[in-house]
Amino acid sequence: MAHPAEAPTFFHLKHSQDPYHSALTSGVIAHLGEGIVSSAFEGVRARSGELLIERADPTSFGIIIESHAPYMDRWQSDLETIIYRATTSSLPIDALFVVMPYMELRDDRAVTDAGALARLLSDRLANADKQQKIVAVATWEPHSTQGIEHLRTAFAESGNEVAIIPLTAVRLFARKFAQIMAEHPNRRYAVISPDLGSLHRCMIAAKELNVPVVLFEKMRPAIEKVDFGNAFIADPTTGLAVPAIFDDLLNIVAFPIDDLTGTGRTNCGAAEMLKRDYGVAEVHTAITHASLILPEAKKRLSAAMEEGFIDAIFFTDTLPPVMDGKTVTVSVAQSTAALMRVATGIGSEEDKVAVQKIMYPLGPIKDELKELLAAGQLPLVPELWPPQTPSTPSQEAVLFQYAGTA
């Protein structure tokens, strides 16, 4: 796809004035750059989300940033509607790039039929692309390798080979953690994975920081109940995992990382266990999507901080600030804006580096992780998973190729 050398004009369509639904979109527009004009484009309505359109001769490139509203069927219907209208209307779009803060793409979950939900969402998005204009779908913290495959397969079955680009904030969190480590170089540190679902992203951070990763076995017999079992500690270079004992974690500074918190039970429960049962000195929790969908979630996190179980919380800006106190916002809006510039062919070398840092190399599914854990071996070298064949292009290669920047 050819792109002009000059900066394009991004025409954006605001579908919702609710700050909850437009937090990331507004942030991205603010970070597009001084040389890029953002102009309102009227005429199409939907309940949430934003449509950004680059109108340039001879091509036009549209970008959707959809609202973050997990677990809500209305949100999925909105996204389906926006894609359908964008690919069947007279809008000057030759290609469409969908960017979503979050997708419910979990491969298994004891308390919901998440696998079926991931397949349903994937089918709906693929079927909405009536004119097959979608060239890529990017989503922050998709959670599941299997869920991403549902999405890729759905588009392939509809006759459209779409680049599926998982994104992660873990390296952005790791940068903040590295600053803490630099201030106190003589202390001991570890990245904490509160459950198997967060393990692979925690492995990435552990390798970035060259510290051990600690995994807890989490059981959720019901949505309102979280239990923790054994803990394992693994070396970030070899991947060898052994059961953790009290001395392994005594007086360490812990960095738990999670993709989403809705109830706060996992993060608060893990922090309390780390300090009470393992003698951890400090807990700095990082959460990409702070949806806090239950009213008591904010109270639970606030109480954990007041009681000293959590020393600080790092959120991203996929949602508006949800808490006061010792919270730090880590921006993904800047990285998302860089992704858009790269996708439209005007990205700088700095943009390309920023995009590579947020690419998420998908890891094993949970059943495979359980087998690896039982064998004492975890895939702590993310670039080696999943296994690549010579004909399998990297995510960066796919993105840069269709963006005309390879």
Q: Output the domain CATH number for residue 390.
A: 3.40.50.2020
The answer as to whether 174 is a domain residue is yes
Q: Which residues of the chain have pLDDT under 50?
A: 1-5, 17, 41-48, 68-74, 108-112, 221, 386-393, 396-398, 400-406
The two structure tokens encoding residue 90: 């007279």
- Spatial CA neighbour of 194 closest among 247, 231, 239: 231
The two structure tokens encoding residue 144: 């599941």
The answer as to whether 4 is a domain residue is no
Report the pLDDT value the prediction gives residue 279, as an integer from 0 to 100: 94
Same-domain check for residues 337 and 388 = yes
Report the pLDDT value the prediction gives residue 20, as an integer from 0 to 100: 56
Q: What are phi and psi of 231, to 5 degrees?
A: -115, 145
Report the pLDDT value the prediction gives residue 388, as an integer from 0 to 100: 47
Q: Which of 270, 305, 330 is the last residue of a domain?
A: 330
Q: Cα dihedral angle (373, 376, 380, 384), rounded to 10 degrees? A: -90
Strand order in the sheet with 60-65: 37-40, 9-14, 50-55, 60-65, 95-100, 134-140, 163-167
Same-domain check for residues 163 and 210 = no
The domain tally of the chain equals 2
The answer as to whether 1 is a domain residue is no
Same-domain check for residues 147 and 216 = no
Identify whether the C-beta of residue 216 lies closer than 8 Å to the C-beta of residue 270. Answer: yes
Report the pLDDT value the prediction gives residue 314, as an integer from 0 to 100: 94
Report the pLDDT value the prediction gives residue 99, as an integer from 0 to 100: 82
The answer as to whether 349 is a domain residue is yes
Same-domain check for residues 154 and 177 = no
Same-domain check for residues 386 and 289 = no
Identify whether the C-beta of residue 241 lies closer than 8 Å to the C-beta of residue 376. Answer: yes
Same-domain check for residues 31 and 95 = yes
Report the pLDDT value the prediction gives residue 45, as an integer from 0 to 100: 46
The two structure tokens encoding residue 139: 């989503």
Same-domain check for residues 155 and 230 = no
Same-domain check for residues 77 and 151 = yes
Residues in Cβ contact with 164 at an 8 Å cutoff, skipping those fewer than 6 apart:
136, 137, 148, 151, 152, 155
d(CA 246, CA 272): 14
Angle between helices 170-183 and 199-209 (to 10 degrees): 40
Same-domain check for residues 321 and 346 = no
d(CA 227, CA 221): 8
The answer as to whether 3 is a domain residue is no
Report the pLDDT value the prediction gives residue 402, as an integer from 0 to 100: 42
Q: Is the pTM of this model over 0.75?
A: yes
The answer as to whether 31 is a domain residue is yes
d(CA 150, CA 132): 18
d(CA 93, CA 100): 19
Domain that holds residue 148: 9-168+333-365+377-402
The answer as to whether 391 is a domain residue is yes
The answer as to whether 370 is a domain residue is no
Same-domain check for residues 33 and 140 = yes
279 φψ region: left (φ > 0), alpha (ψ -120 to 50), beta (else) = left
Same-domain check for residues 142 and 178 = no
Same-domain check for residues 212 and 276 = yes
Report the pLDDT value the prediction gives residue 260, as an integer from 0 to 100: 81
Per-residue DSSP letter, 359: B
